[in-house]
Amino acid sequence: MALRRGRKDDQGSWRLLPSEGRKGNPPAWPLQKWRELEKQKPAEERNDAAARAIDTRELATWRTIWKTPQAVAWDQLGWRHDVALYVRLLVASEAGSLKAASEARQWSNLLGLNPSAMLRNRWRIATDQVAEKRQENTKKDSARRPSSKDRLHVVRNGTGF
């Protein structure tokens, strides 16, 4: 299957994701919190402070990731649990787990979080034409050479001019 071809009849099979991302609140966190998992350990093995920190980081990452354009597709496909597993692995990789980092990378491919994965999923982010035009105009304005009038300055002396 040629994913890069630009045939007219091929365009309908691509999912267009909004450039502004998913609107609204994220879904409820579907996994058990680390604090609850810590309670299952013997008292001498518990680290409640670390568990609270992990819970906080997971929820912050969860809120952020559900604002991405890909989150629109995840919501439609019901991939909440899959995204939660990715977030858990991502947070564990931030804490230094190489195994979690490897797993998180694989999950990011499945969830369409990089360009090649988006291509495989046949997802495209819609262009925000208004923002593009605004950026284009800003570039034109900043690229404009100053005129001779721009270089002139009024100099005041004791007589008013």
Location of structure tokens 């309908």: 12
* 44-63 mean pLDDT: 94
117: pLDDT strictly greater than 90: yes
33-62 b/e (C-beta count within 10 Å ≥ 16 → b): ebeeebeeeeeeeeeeeebeebbebbeebb
In which band, very low, low, confident or very high, does the pLDDT at 127 lie, cut at 50, 70 and 90?
confident
Is the Cα dihedral 32, 102, 98, 73 positive or negative? negative
> What confidence score (pLDDT) does residue 152 get?
67
> Quick one: pLDDT at residue 5?
53
H or E element: which one contains 148?
A: helix 148-151
* Residue bearing tokens 């977030």: 87
**Is pTM, for the whole model, over 0.75?**
no
Confidence of residue 81 (pLDDT cuts 50, 70, 90): very high
Q: Look at residue 125 and give its three-state secondary structure.
A: strand
Confidence grade of residue 1 (pLDDT, cut at 50, 70, 90): very low
Hey, what's the torsion of the CAs at 56, 58, 63, 66, to 10 degrees? 180
**In the predicted structure, residue 8 carries a pLDDT above the cut 90:** no
What's the rounded Cα separation, in Å, for the pair 22 and 27?
Answer: 11
Per-residue confidence (pLDDT) for residue 38, from 0 to 100: 87
